[in-house]
Structure formats: C-alpha cells, structure tokens
Amino acid sequence: MEKIDLLYHSIVTQLETLGAASPYIADANEPDPNYRSYGVRRVGKARVVKNHRPAIKQLAKEEKRQLAYRLIESGYGEQQEVALAILSQILEYFTPEKSEEIDWIGRQLHGWSKVDSYVGSFFQPLLEIYPDTLLQLAQEWNRSPNQWLRRTSVVLFTRKIGSSGRYTEEALALCENLVFDPEDLVLKGVGWALKDILVSNPARVITYIKELRVRGVSSVVTLYAIRNIKGEERKKILAAGK
C-alpha cells in the first residue's frame, strides 16, 4: 500500500502544482457545481500521465486498480483523467462479474467532459467485449435521476459504435426515453447519438428525427442530430412539424 500511497501523492502534488499556476478554474467548461478541478488543461494532464507512466507500469494489475479507484473517488476531474489512463490498461479485469464496479465508476463522474472521456476509452471498449453487461447498465443509467448517468447511457452509442449499426434499435430506445429530458447536456447527448447512429441507417433515423420535430422535441436534439446533413434533405427535415 505504501507504494500506491507514494504514487498517488506524487500525482496529486504535480496536479496541484500545475493547477496553482493555471489561469483556469477548471480543466473544462463544466457547469455542474459539483465538478471539482485544479484547472489543469489537457497538456498538463498528459504531462502528469507521462511522468508517472514508468512507475504505473511497474504495478501489478490489482495495484493499478486500487490506484485508479483512489484517483476516481477523489472527485477531481484531473485525477479521474489519470485514472482513466490506468483503467485502459486493465480492461480485461472488468468481466461481467465486475458489473457493480463498472457501475460504481460511472456514478463517480460529474460533468460532460469526464462522461465523454470515460465513454470513449472505457465504457465503449467494454461494450465491444461484454455487450450484454454494458447494455444492461445503460438501461439502468438511462432511468437514473443522475443527469450524467443518463448522458452516459446514450453517449455510449456515439462515434464508431453508433456508426457501426450494431446497436441501432437499442440506442434509439434509450434516446426515446430522454427526448424530453430537462437537462441540456443530456439532450445534446441524445442528439449526438442520433447523429452517429444515422450514418449506418439514415432512412430509419431521419424518419425518427422528423417524428421528433412533429412531437415538439427540443431543437437541441434535432439540430444536433442533423448537423452533418445539408441541402434539400436538411430543409425537408426542418420543415417537419411546422
């Protein structure tokens, strides 16, 4: 444990030092008052990871997990970013039997930047390996009073996951549950998911987006969803619901 303690304190000390010299109050534009940050931006966080990579590499898998969890539970965005770099090295640990730990990680995240980082480097890779486990968690997060879990449940289907077409129906069902969500950043997550799902199934998703406009769903969702569509097709979609 002493080895982990020393490494943890070294990471935190460097983050605090960089934060003290930073003109920023946070490492990203985060509106959540619960978001904690030193003000260290991406370059600084990358430097901290690089400086500690050799020592982290020497840790056993269980030691890496313990260090990552300690960083995560601090609540500081920058510490959670360092933890993410560690977790990506031990993805094989997170079998379906560890679903409660995966869920715990998701519940520690506050802010769109941490949700999006963890989705891209942790939750989506696990979805590829254990789809049943992550889909079940996504359904639970989708109904959560926690706005960041709700965002996670749909952002999970962005990027290559969304454009692959493998989870179109599951993603659309989860998006549907949130189209009238009161939180702007959840709605933007829905729009982002629809935009990327549309790539593999344009007819199905465009029809759905038109239906959303007829139903009076916020343009935060629909305009984000069609941001890559131009010309006459875009005009036809925008005309729906008028």
Residue 45 sits in the same domain as residue 149: no
Read off φ and ψ for residue 28, nearest 5 degrees: -155, 170
Could you tell me the CATH number of the domain that includes residue 163? 1.25.10.90
Phi, psi of 161, deg, nearest 5: -60, -45
Could you report the per-residue pLDDT of 23-71, keeping only the tens digit for each?
999 999 999 999 999 999 999 999 999 999 999 999 999 999 999 999 9
181 and 227 share one domain = yes
pLDDT at 241: 75
Which of 93, 126, 146 delimits the end of a domain?
Answer: 93
Task: Identify whether residues 139 and 51 lie together within a single domain.
Answer: no
Query: What secondary structure does DSSP assign to the chain, as a single string?
Result: -HHHHHHHHHHHHHHHHHHHT-S-SSSS----TT-B-----HHHHHHHHHHHHHHHHTS-HHHHHHHHHHHHHT-BHHHHHHHHHHHTT-GGG--GGGHHHHHHHHHT--SHHHHHHHIIIIIHHHHHH-HHHHHHHHHHHHT-S-HHHHHHHHHTT-HHHHHT-TTHHHHHHHHHHTTT-S-HHHHHHHHHHHHHHTTT-HHHHHHHHHHHHHTT--HHHHHHHTTT--HHHHHHHHHTT-
Residues of the chain with pLDDT under 70: 1
Residue 77 and residue 109 in contact, taking contact as beta carbons nearer than 8 Å: no
What type of residue is 169? E
Residues 222 and 143 in one domain: yes
Domain that holds residue 89: 1-93
Both 36 and 132 in a single domain? no
Are 86 and 100 members of one domain? no
Residues 214 and 147 in one domain: yes
Identify the domain boundary among 93, 124, 146. 93
* Number of domains making up the chain: 2
Are 87 and 103 within one domain?
no
- Model pTM? 0.96
Tell whether 12 and 101 lie within a shared domain.
no
- Out of 31, 60, 93, a domain closes at 93
pLDDT at 1: 63
**Residues in CB range of 223: below 8 A, 6 or more apart:** 191
Residue 190, both tokens? 């829905």
> Does 48 share its domain with 106?
no
CA angle in degrees (0–180, nearest 5) for 29-115-205:
105
| 103 and 84 within one domain | no
Do both 138 and 224 map to the same domain? yes
